[in-house]
Structure 1
Amino acid sequence: MLVSGNLLAGSYFTKNNNACLWFILALLNGLIIGLPFVFNAFYIVGWFSLAPVFMLAFFMGRKRYSLYCLVCLFSAYAVASHWLVNFFHLQGMSFLKAVAWCSLYWLFMSVTLAALLLFFRVLVERFSKIVLPVIFASVVTAHCAATSFLFPANWVYSQGEFVVVLQWVALLGEYGLMFVMVLTSAATGCLLMRFNYRRFWGGLIALIAFWFSPLIFSQTLTARAIKEVETVTLGWVQTDSLPGQRSKLTNYSLANPIELQLSMAIADQTDVIIWPETGAKELWSNTHFHSQLNEFTRSTGTSVVLQDIRREAGRSYNSLMHVAAGQTTEYYDKRYLIPIGEFIPDWLAGLGADEFLLGDGGRFLTEGGRDVDFTNGKFLWRSRICYEAFFSSAFAAMTKSRPIDFATISSNQAWFNSASQVDLMKAVSRIRAVQLNVPVLHVNNNGPSWLFDADGHELTHSPAGVRGAFFTTVVVPKGR
């Protein structure tokens, strides 16, 4: 529908020289191309929004087609740059440095895009329409191969400025990443077409200012709004060893598990302790453990957020239980279930089933039905489980008269043999910190774990594969 609408509009504008409507159409088409950077629907939005740009080559002359591409892709460039600068800014760069790095990276992509647009127009005039998709796919493939050579994975791993590129590769695959890059890197390349683009400079400057102004305004507003702060001390435990080792902990006692021992070591210094699910599952169903945990929180005054399998009315939930002052004050059942790595019942495990092949796909876990925030009377925080971190709605669904002070994420075996999973977990935790404008603690039971401030900057971390108890202090806004 989008394609046919653009084709009809393009045919109309070739017969009626209405520059204003033509400019608006190109502008909207460019914004649609930029939508993948807002909603993360890279493949669907990317392909369907690009189709009109290339199809219009059959109906427009070369000059009008080039101008259409100029406005359209400048619009997409503005959206994508705003998104990309945010990511570079999360790496700890200043705003100006983030803009500079963003510009340098797009410069490399722009040359390819300029050549691609002009080359496609020449192909329309000289070759059969049936051959064009094959040629186009070959050009994109060659570009992907060239980019892989210029930005090898091992080099990217060591460069904080380009870690976001690695995260995109892991999420999209290299072809999807490069496809989106080519679509939205038009700034320098389109200027090389040397057509009459001067009339669009005013609109271009206004568009770029429009997309960058919310970022500047929001950061200035936040800095002015926070005048008073409080300090909260957060603790967490890691008990599993290196990734990929699925054996249960040895000498694990339900009466006094290692996590409880580690928690006792930091209880006097901490307000809240995050305890992710580990090798010994379903501790929560053990009554003796209940009494031990209740006594621990009563005697120390520390709150504990425990992740474990919770059973109720014949159903199993992946849950977070908040225990404070000797009682369970609240629990949260995971609402966003994934098809692997969650939970399988004991009878199925006895048959040799692998939880990383079945998990929620067998519907052995029940989806939670409500959103919950935890409080210990002094602080209010939001806790979520593992891959819920990738769902913005898991954090933004609730509205409170009082905003939360911080957020936590608990992960069981959050990564295995691929270091890119660590980058993804780290990046998404930073995104949530900026989204919520509060500190975020992401605890992995096999490490690493991270604490980020409200601007997405890493404050501290604990290493991977190390068993131990950790705690740190973080400043949170007061009376917001």
Structure 2
Amino acid sequence: MAAFAARVAALTGWRRGLLALILGAGLTAAQPPVDLVIMLVPGFTGLCWLLDGARGRRGRFVTVWCFAFGHYLTGVYWISESFYVDAERYAWLVPVPLLVLPAVMALLPAAGFAAAPWPRAALARPFALAAIWLAVDWLKAYGLLGFPWNLAGQAWDASTAMLQAYALLGIFGASLLTVLIAALPATLGTRHGRLAVGAGMVTLAAWWGLGSWRLAVTEIATVPGVQLRLVQANIAQQQKWLPEERFRNLERQIELSAGGAATPTHIVWPETAVPFLLDAEPRLLQYLAEQLGPETVLLAGALRRSPPGQPVQVWNSLHVVQGGQVLATYDKRHLVPFGEFLPYRPLMSLVGLDRVALSAVDFSAGESGDGRLPVPGAPLARTLICYEAIFPAEVRDGAEGAGWLVNVTNDAWFGVSAGPYQHLAAARARAVELGLPLVRVAGTGVSAVIDPLGRFAARLELGTAGTADSPLPAAINGRTVYHRFGDSVFGALWLLCAIAAFVTRR
């Protein structure tokens, strides 16, 4: 093992860069939908060996950039799928999300590893790797890019028992521990290598054992009087807004909602499911009450705009509808750059890049409320529209007093790719972190009812049309550790990891 590690470390030139790129690309296979968790080991262990032979800061920068570029290239390629929805206008821009975005994102970990000292002692290197990688991931999530995607700990989506650590450590804490354990084989062939790897194996066994125990002893009840129906009409994005298709698409969702043997009390439609300004259409509201029943509660995504005579504003919203009235509304607060608004629009317009925007008017971010929405006959809901579900701290901030998470989204932009599965895994992590059930409805899938332990109570697969009926699982008794303390648990764990790297550095 020591001889093999030495050969990897001694690689130079294009061979070093190519191996780093391959290892980074392979790392993505640990994520959904492939779920080859074992790929974490060659990825982070190999990166350790390559860093051992890197020449100075420049060598570390280039090595990590190649590794991260390979990882992000395979991890977020699916963003380019959205540019084919209107291929005539946007296909020429495909290289931007496919190549430029991963290249830019890769600069962050590359700069982090170039700036931080790399320890000489083999035992210190896995600790240093985990501390630097997760520091960059945290900054990428909450500072520089606002995109916490494919965190290492999300690979445990393949095991419900391993998911339980989210309730204690959160996704960032679980990711830190995952990277550390995956990098420990880099110490094999050195003085403390077997002991380090053995400790990692014991930690994994304990992790799985405690998670299995939590699953076995935790009883999840259901909320009395709530019978959910999730509606997934599987409408292609190209057909969604065509004038001749809009009413037909609406009727399709009504038919799915009103069919079946069970009688739902609450029906959930996905993001922008209603192709009209629902809150400004009293006749449409009355029609929905007639078709679905006056007592049925409908949670439906729709656009909303400012009243006539006021400056034009458009919101991406979720309405709570019952008896022909809109009872409550949540406006999306965390908007998608370039998808829902064009950053620095005046500057972009000067250089002609305003053509990449979907509309001449940016969406407005919701300003009132914190995402908690009253729903008649059901607990208070913490509402999440689209990728708002991938931000752990933001979801937690608005979850106090909520009894369930409602995530409506439209993943039709990304076709049958890895994106919808990865999005589902990120949303599922929020349920376990907070001990709250998650009801997720996507226009083309994957839609699901997930209990507070991360188990699926109902599920509709990607690319299928239909409904899923389920009672609403109840929240766990009391708050989870993560719900109480948030990312401070990760901060303490990260500090211990950094101290371990410093103490063992020689």
- Quick check: TM above 0.5? yes
Query: For the Cα contact (< 8 Å) 1:240–1:279, is it kept in 2?
Result: no
Distance change in 2, residues 1:377/1:247 (3 Å) = closer
AA paired with 1:336? H
Query: For the Cα contact (< 8 Å) 1:256–1:289, is it kept in 2?
Result: no
> What is residue 228 of structure 2 aligned with on the other side?
234
* Higher RCO (CA < 8 A, seq sep 6+): 2
Cα distance per residue 1:183-209 (max 9 Å; x no partner): 345422234343xx59x979x96x998
The 3-state SS of whatever aligns with 1:375 is coil
AA paired with 2:467? F
> What is residue 370 of structure 1 aligned with on the other side?
369
Distance change in 2, residues 1:247/1:307 (3 Å) = closer
Query: For the Cα contact (< 8 Å) 1:92–1:457, is it kept in 2?
Result: no
AA paired with 2:387? Y
Distance change in 2, residues 1:355/1:476 (3 Å) = farther
> What is residue 254 of structure 2 aligned with on the other side?
260
Query: For the Cα contact (< 8 Å) 1:452–1:458, is it kept in 2?
Result: yes
Cα distance per residue 1:389-427 (max 9 Å; x no partner): 2222442123545x50x3221123543346122222222
Query: For the Cα contact (< 8 Å) 1:339–1:360, is it kept in 2?
Result: no
> What is residue 97 of structure 1 aligned with on the other side?
none
The 3-state SS of whatever aligns with 2:431 is helix
Give the TM-score taking structure 2 as reference length: 0.53
The 3-state SS of whatever aligns with 2:286 is helix
AA paired with 1:274? V
> What is residue 447 of structure 2 aligned with on the other side?
449
AA paired with 1:280? P
> What is residue 16 of structure 1 aligned with on the other side?
none
AA paired with 1:438? L
Distance change in 2, residues 1:177/1:290 (3 Å) = same
Cα distance per residue 1:116-175 (max 9 Å; x no partner): 32x34xx5xxxxxxxx44444554567679999x99x99xxxxxxxxxxxxxx9996795
Larger Rg: 1
Confirm or deny that 1:392 pairs with 2:385: no
The 3-state SS of whatever aligns with 2:338 is coil
Distance change in 2, residues 1:437/1:341 (3 Å) = same
* Partner residue of 1:421 out of 414, 419, 422: 419
Query: For the Cα contact (< 8 Å) 2:435–2:475, is it kept in 1?
Result: no
AA paired with 1:306? A
C-alpha displacement at 1:273, in angstroms? 0.8
Query: For the Cα contact (< 8 Å) 1:235–1:470, is it kept in 2?
Result: yes
Confirm or deny that 1:305 pairs with 2:299: yes
Cα distance per residue 1:369-392 (max 9 Å; x no partner): 212233323444333211212222
Confirm or deny that 1:284 pairs with 2:279: yes
Any gaps of 5 or more consecutive residues in structure 2?
Answer: 1-26, 79-98, 114-125, 131-181, 343-351, 478-506
Confirm or deny that 1:293 pairs with 2:291: no
Number of residue pairs the alignment of both structures matches: 345
Query: For the Cα contact (< 8 Å) 1:234–1:273, is it kept in 2?
Result: yes
C-alpha displacement at 1:470, in angstroms? 0.5
> What is residue 469 of structure 2 aligned with on the other side?
472
AA paired with 1:410? V
AA paired with 2:395? F
Give the TM-score taking structure 1 as reference length: 0.56
> What is residue 431 of structure 2 aligned with on the other side?
433
Q: 2-side partners of 1:335 and 1:360: how far apart?
A: 18
Distance change in 2, residues 1:473/1:116 (3 Å) = same
AA paired with 1:358? A
C-alpha displacement at 1:329, in angstroms? 2.5
Q: 1-side partners of 2:476 and 2:188: how far apart?
A: 50
> What is residue 332 of structure 1 aligned with on the other side?
330
Query: For the Cα contact (< 8 Å) 1:321–1:332, is it kept in 2?
Result: yes
C-alpha displacement at 1:304, in angstroms? 0.3
Any gaps of 5 or more consecutive residues in structure 1?
Answer: 1-83, 94-100, 124-131, 155-168, 345-352
1:192-271 alignment runs, 5 A limit: 192-194=189-191, 224=217, 226=219, 228-230=221-223, 232-245=226-239, 248=242, 250=244, 252-253=246-247, 257-266=251-260, 269-271=263-265
Query: For the Cα contact (< 8 Å) 1:267–1:302, is it kept in 2?
Result: no
AA paired with 2:187? C
> What is residue 45 of structure 2 aligned with on the other side?
110
